[in-house]
Amino acid sequence: MVNTISRSDIVSNLYTIVAEQRSSLVDLIWEQHYFHEKRRWSAVEMIGAINLEAVSEFDKANLWNAGRAELTTKPGADRLARLADAECRRWQERNPVLASIMQACSTWSRYWNEEESFHETTLNRLSTLLSLEPVSDETVIEFRKIFPDDDMLRTLVLLAISEITATVNYSWCASVAQDPGLKKLFKQIAADESQHMTYFISFAKALVDSKEYSPKGAFAVAHLFVREGGELYGSNRQQVEQRDSHVNWWDSIKYEMVLPDNIERKQSLIFSALRQITGIQVNSAAEVEQTWLDLVGC
């Protein structure tokens, strides 16, 4: 049995649904599980359907970079589970509705983590089968560093933007892949990333709807990405910050391949996410900055 409340309603009205007690946590978790199970796919079958002889050098660079990038998703999901659970307990007395939202988010992190594990292991296994440069144990351990904690709304918006970037990048990889099996794999991963984006937007919107989180947090993070030379420009930026604390996958694309920035597409998806989360419409990087400044009262 599926929930009587539609999925699109849960996505866009999560806070109200919980506030009006139309869904318990058990109902929400069932919906998460149902949707996760419905979209499952087999890594073994997906790899088996790819003709390794037909994978071009171009596709190999895409695969290799993506496999490394996916190594950073596990620490992201581990952190989200812990952070959202801590937030749940922080809000339990003051705002029990928000506490339930946080618990739903912490719980969903297990499905997110599992889906990302399919991306990581499938891509890295393909790299091994294609005899590409091995990923060392040191790299795996380095890429597993846990991100530092931040405010929950900022965290969710950052993750939504990260999924937007991944969706656009994988869609592009799918569009250029020649082998039908590889094309199917990239398309499937892009579809997963797009669903993750939807979840992050839904949770972020619920936080803003609770009125406990100001939309300024959402705009502050978006500004970091869309500004000239910002995070969206990835490893093409003139100056990539050096960090010891964690690895941002978008800073770690190694081979100068090929992957186009697709800045316009990514920006328009970020503007759409901001509108869904905060109700505020912006159409340019300059408007993101101005809105952020207005919200902080500058």
Contact predicate 10/202, CB 8 Å:
yes
Give the C-alpha separation, 206 to 104, whole Å: 11
Binding piece for Fe ion, criterion CB under 5 A, among 5-13, 137-145, 193-201, 285-293? 193-201
Binding piece for Fe ion, criterion CB under 5 A, among 46-54, 117-125, 209-217, 286-294? 117-125
Give the C-alpha separation, 32 to 47, whole Å: 26
Binding piece for Fe ion, criterion CB under 5 A, among 22-30, 114-122, 141-149, 252-260? 114-122
CB nearer to Fe ion: pick between 119 and 216: 119
Q: Which of residues 151-180 bind Fe ion (CB under 5 A)?
A: 163
Is residue 51 classed exposed, middle or buried when 0-12, 13-18 and 19+ CB atoms within 10 A define those classes?
exposed
Neighbours of 96 (CB within 10 A): 13
The mark string for 1-40 relative to Fe ion (x by CB under 5 A, - otherwise) is: ----------------------------------------
CB nearer to Fe ion: pick between 99 and 270: 270
Q: Which of 27, 59, 87, 193 binds Fe ion (CB under 5 A)?
A: 193
Binding piece for Fe ion, criterion CB under 5 A, among 27-35, 195-203, 237-245, 250-258? 195-203
CB nearer to Fe ion: pick between 68 and 216: 68
Q: Which of 39, 28, 3 is nearest to 206 (CA)?
A: 28
CB nearer to Fe ion: pick between 63 and 97: 63
Contact predicate 153/218, CB 8 Å:
yes
Q: What is the dihedral of CA 81, 274, 202, 69, to 10 degrees?
A: -40
Neighbours of 239 (CB within 10 A): 6
Give the number of residues written for the chain.
298
Does 205 interact with Fe ion (rule: CB under 5 A)? no
CB nearer to Fe ion: pick between 60 and 119: 119
Min dist CB 241 to Fe ion, Å, is 23
Does 196 interact with Fe ion (rule: CB under 5 A)? yes
Contact predicate 129/192, CB 8 Å:
no
CB nearer to Fe ion: pick between 196 and 205: 196
Q: Which two tokens stand for residue 1?
A: 């049995």
DSSP for 121-140, written as a single string = HHHHHHHHHTTPPPPPHHHH
Q: Which of 79, 119, 216, 223 binds Fe ion (CB under 5 A)?
A: 119
Total site size for Fe ion, rule CB under 5 A = 5
Binding piece for Fe ion, criterion CB under 5 A, among 50-58, 118-126, 211-219, 246-254? 118-126
CB nearer to Fe ion: pick between 10 and 197: 197
Rg for the chain (alpha carbons), in Å? 19
Min dist CB 196 to Fe ion, Å, is 4
Min dist CB 69 to Fe ion, Å, is 8
Percent of residues in the chain assigned helix, strand, coil, to nearest 5: 70, 0, 30
Q: Which of 149, 145, 126, 21 is nearest to 67 (CA)?
A: 126
Interface residues toward Fe ion, by CB under 5 A: 116, 119, 163, 193, 196
